[in-house]
């Protein structure tokens, strides 16, 4: 069924409860996910953004059968992540990153041999497949070195190699380029794109807005366990008030000036931020009515004023959404 989403999340919640201390027992309760709905089309790549602690990794772990939801349901490839976890495991891949999940005392190649056996990759294919994924993540030259000698970025690449070794139909990438140098990060993004063109469905979390914008036609923003927006990048821009952003900078503005700027036609939002001795006003514009010259005219008497126009970035959108949520 081509119309069935590859990933479908309905009303998923996850509660973490723990007790700390011995004499003075302290009970902590965290609602990491508070009713998440999400659908990812088969063969597409979907971006999941959100501040630290928003619940991204928790959701990824639930979808990859590592963690149980407290309530709600989630299906991957049409199969329930709780009921059909055995069926799903060989068909999904997960890249969580970090230090865990690799064997440090043995080589990268031996790590992958272990996982190949675990995934049931036929013996005859094993070595060629391992060499191919190591090549794909540019680790072939270091294949026979012990992982404990690896840099953080090399370990991250090995995590990615491990995640794609068994050719999963759905891949969960939790901050895949964290710790990678710019060139390796770029190559990883290229690899992600090539996986999508091979037909793999990908759910990707990242804190790099340009990465999400570059890779993901659709994006959801998670904040405090809830999806606060999901749309295309263009749709999200409209949601926060338009494509155009103007920035005016000078040595301080008074309230009257900020008000004057806010009243200019088409201005949907004005944010004021201090940058050392300078203040920056960021204006979101719904229309073409107001130009940089109009803004300059509304702020007379600042000899050091600079006004520039740029396209609203995904970072602007993200900060607006997450900020609104905080209020």
Ligand X SMILES: Nc1ncnc2c1ncn2[C@@H]1O[C@H](COP(=O)(O)OP(=O)(O)OP(=O)(O)O)[C@@H](O)[C@H]1O
Residues that bind Mg ion (CB under 5 A): 56-57
186 token code pair = 């770029």
Decide whether 72 or 90 has the Cβ nearer to ligand X.
Answer: 72
Among candidate residues 315, 237, 311, 245, the one with its CA nearest the CA of residue 281: 245
Q: Does 55 bind ligand X (CB under 6 A)?
A: yes
Q: Does 68 bind ligand X (CB under 6 A)?
A: no
The contacts of residue 284 (CB under 8 Å, 6+ apart) are 240, 241, 242, 244, 245, 267, 268, 269, 270, 312, 316, 320
Decide whether 174 or 249 has the Cβ nearer to ligand X.
Answer: 174
Binding mask 217-246 for ligand X (x = CB under 6 A): ------------------------------
Binding partner at 18 among Mg ion, ligand X, none, C-beta below 5 to 8 Å by kind: ligand X
Distance, CA of 164 to CA of 168 (rounded, Å): 6
Decide whether 55 or 176 has the Cβ nearer to ligand X.
Answer: 55
CA angle 59, 47, 319 (to 5 degrees): 95
Residue 191 near residue 137, CB atoms below 8 Å: yes
Length of the chain: 327
Residue 118 near residue 130, CB atoms below 8 Å: no
- Interface residue with ligand X among 7, 9, 12, 32 (CB under 6 A) is 32
- Please count the CA atoms within 13 angstroms of the CA of 122 that sit on its side-chain side: 2
Binding partner at 197 among ligand X, Mg ion, none, C-beta below 5 to 8 Å by kind: none
Q: Does 50 bind ligand X (CB under 6 A)?
A: yes
- Interface residue with ligand X among 12, 42, 45, 57 (CB under 6 A) is 57
- Interface residue with ligand X among 42, 58, 65, 312 (CB under 6 A) is 58
Decide whether 93 or 241 has the Cβ nearer to Mg ion.
Answer: 93
- The residues that touch ligand X, with contacts defined as CB under 6 A, are 16, 18, 30, 32, 50, 52-58
């Amino acid at each position: 069924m081509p119309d069935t989403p590859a990933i479908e999340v309905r009303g998923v919640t996850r509660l973490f409860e723990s007790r700390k201390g011995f004499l003075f027992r302290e009970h902590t309760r965290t609602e990491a996910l508070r009713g998440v709905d999400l659908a990812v089309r088969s063969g597409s790549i979907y971006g999941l953004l959100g501040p630290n602690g928003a619940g991204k990794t928790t959701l990824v772990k639930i979808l990859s059968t590592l963690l149980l939801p407290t309530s709600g349901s989630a299906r991957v490839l049409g199969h329930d992540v709780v009921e059909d976890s055995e069926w799903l495991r060989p068909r999904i891949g997960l890249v969580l990153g970090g230090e865990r999940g690799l064997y440090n005392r043995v080589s990268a190649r031996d790590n992958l041999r272990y996982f190949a056996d675990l995934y049931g990759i036929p013996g005859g294919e094993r070595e060629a497949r391992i060499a191919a994924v190591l090549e794909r993540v540019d680790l072939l030259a270091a294949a026979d070195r012990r992982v404990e000698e690896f840099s953080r970025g090399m370990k991250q690449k090995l995590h990615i190699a491990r995640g794609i070794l068994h050719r999963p139909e759905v891949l969960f990438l939790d901050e895949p380029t964290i710790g990678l140098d710019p060139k390796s990060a770029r190559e990883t993004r290229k690899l992600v794109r090539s996986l999508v063109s091979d037909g793999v469905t990908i759910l990707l979390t990242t804190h790099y807005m340009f990465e999400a914008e570059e890779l993901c036609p659709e994006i959801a923003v998670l904040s405090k366990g809830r999806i606060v927006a999901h749309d295309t990048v263009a749709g999200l821009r409209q949601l926060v008030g338009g494509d155009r952003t103007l920035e005016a900078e000078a040595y301080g503005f008074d309230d009257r000036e900020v008000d004057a700027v806010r009243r200019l036609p088409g201005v949907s939002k004005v944010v004021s931020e201090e940058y050392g001795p300078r203040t920056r006003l960021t204006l979101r514009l719904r229309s073409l009515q107001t130009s940089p010259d109009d803004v300059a005219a509304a702020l007379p008497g600042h000899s050091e004023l600079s006004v520039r126009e740029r396209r609203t970035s995904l970072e602007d959108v993200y900060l607006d959404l997450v900020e609104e949520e905080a209020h």
